[in-house]
Structure 1
Amino acid sequence: MTLTERDRALWEWAAGYLHVRDNDAHTLYSYGLATALVARTPSARPEIVLPAILLHDTGWSTVPEEDILEAIAPQARRPELVRAHEIAGARIAREVLSELGHDEADVEEIVEIIDGHDSRAEALSVNDACVKDADKLWRITPHGLATVQRWFGLDADEALRIVSARTHEHLHTEAGRAMAGAMGALASIELTAECAVLRAE
């Protein structure tokens, strides 16, 4: 899979805002997940979902890096920073999308999705549902689990339990729930004694 020409141009703009706490890698993995979700979700529009996922976390660039983990930790102490990054991300998205000549109605929908992608529990639309699910599904990928372990000093079992609790029950699409179930099953198998024996051989 590769980024479309349209999305590659957008990524080149977005990447400058994503060099904070692995947001660049998180965004690319989430883009791949969003592409899969769109392909399996009737009526989802890739021209909304994919730009939204590329830009959704650009607002973290406006938050001091040393404060970000306090906002996203399992026991978050600075939840107001989650809202701050959404507001900043919506502003950045509007600027970038307008500069690149995206359709005005599409820009409005993308901005609305970004402005609430973490803090808003319910999805506004099928497009919003795909963005929310792609963002959350990253947590349960091998890259996401390894990143969570590193950020919070957790072992693999702790990371999987925390990520699972913050993912499975918060997904909006059938495709997202199926993907989470499959990735969670694989991560669980990796933790078995049988797999440990195989890795040691």
Structure 2
Amino acid sequence: MTKLQPLANQYGHDVSTHVPDHPGGVIALQGRDAAIWEQAAPLLAVRDNDAHTLYAYALATSFLAAHPEAEPAIVLPAILLHDIGWSQVPPEEVLSAIAPGGGRPDLVLLHEKEGSRLAAGILGDLGHDAGHTQRILEIIDGHDSRREALGIDDALVKDADKTWRLSPHGLDTVMDWFGLDRGQALRLCSARVHGHLFTDEARAVARAFSAVESASAWDQRRALTGR
């Protein structure tokens, strides 16, 4: 769990009035996207896909800042809805679709097809632009199985989805999926992410995630007990 409150104030003085309200890089989930999330969340309550989706949304938002040619109205709804199709796969079979040394391509394809179908209903109910909706559905239907990106919007969705695996939450999740220790999870996710991204921004973030996690495993860091 991310630490939300301090354990101490070592400085001893209140500096909270000097903290800016809206600095660059701090984002929010609101407006149209919040409405999509409300519809998507119940369909994401499997395999920790709900939290995964929120982190992937944040990554996609960050990547969009470097790509003015991409369309947020396509990328962000697509990332919020990309995994809702797993709700249509029997829960006991979900992890077999992506397990190391195994894999069920049929289930991967099923979750993409079902995700596109469910997303069409959600976006239709919310009155989303029809042209944008069609492109969003094309991205969802193939976001895992399609090796090439359809364009920059699809590339950013794919990159945000994959880069999450190397985030602290991603590694926490993969550890429990497969009973791996953190070092094993880092090596597995590194092999599945590095070399499989489309944009320079995602590649830089993925390398940074791996670097920070590598340092956490060093004997020198682990010797700093309690910190």
TM-score (norm 1): 0.98
- Aligned to 1:101, the other structure's residue is in SS state coil
Aligned residues of 1:41 and 1:173 also touching (Cα < 8 A) = no
Counterpart for residue 153 of structure 2: 127
Alignment partner for residue 145 of structure 1, among 167, 171, 191?
Answer: 171
The question of 1:71 aligning with 2:97 is answered yes
Counterpart for residue 88 of structure 2: 62
Deviation digits for residues 137-186 of structure 1, max 9, x if unmatched? 11000000011011100011110000000001110011110111111110
What is the CA–CA distance in structure 1 between the aligned matches of 2:197 and 2:37, rounded to whole Å? 25
Structure 1 gap ranges (5+): none
Q: Which is richer in helix?
A: 1
What is the CA–CA distance in structure 1 between the aligned matches of 2:207 and 2:197, rounded to whole Å? 11
TM-superposed CA distance for 1:75, in Å, is 1.8
Counterpart for residue 86 of structure 1: 112
What is the CA–CA distance in structure 1 between the aligned matches of 2:171 and 2:93, rounded to whole Å? 21
- Aligned to 1:170, the other structure's residue is in SS state coil
Structure 2 gap ranges (5+): 1-26
Decide which structure has the larger Cα Rg and report it.
2
What is the CA–CA distance in structure 1 between the aligned matches of 2:33 and 2:46, rounded to whole Å? 21
Alignment partner for residue 140 of structure 2, among 114, 117, 120?
Answer: 114
Matched to 1:112, the amino acid is E
TM-score (norm 2): 0.87
Q: What percentage of aligned pairs have identical amino acids?
A: 56
TM-superposed CA distance for 1:200, in Å, is 4.6
Matched to 1:24, the amino acid is D
Counterpart for residue 46 of structure 1: 72
**CA RMSD of the aligned region, Å?**
1.0
Matched to 1:180, the amino acid is A
Counterpart for residue 164 of structure 1: 190
Moved more, 81-90 or 191-200: 191-200
Aligned residues of 1:69 and 1:151 also touching (Cα < 8 A) = yes
Aligned residues of 1:41 and 1:175 also touching (Cα < 8 A) = no
Matched to 1:48, the amino acid is I
Matched to 2:34, the amino acid is R
The question of 1:189 aligning with 2:215 is answered yes
The question of 1:15 aligning with 2:41 is answered yes
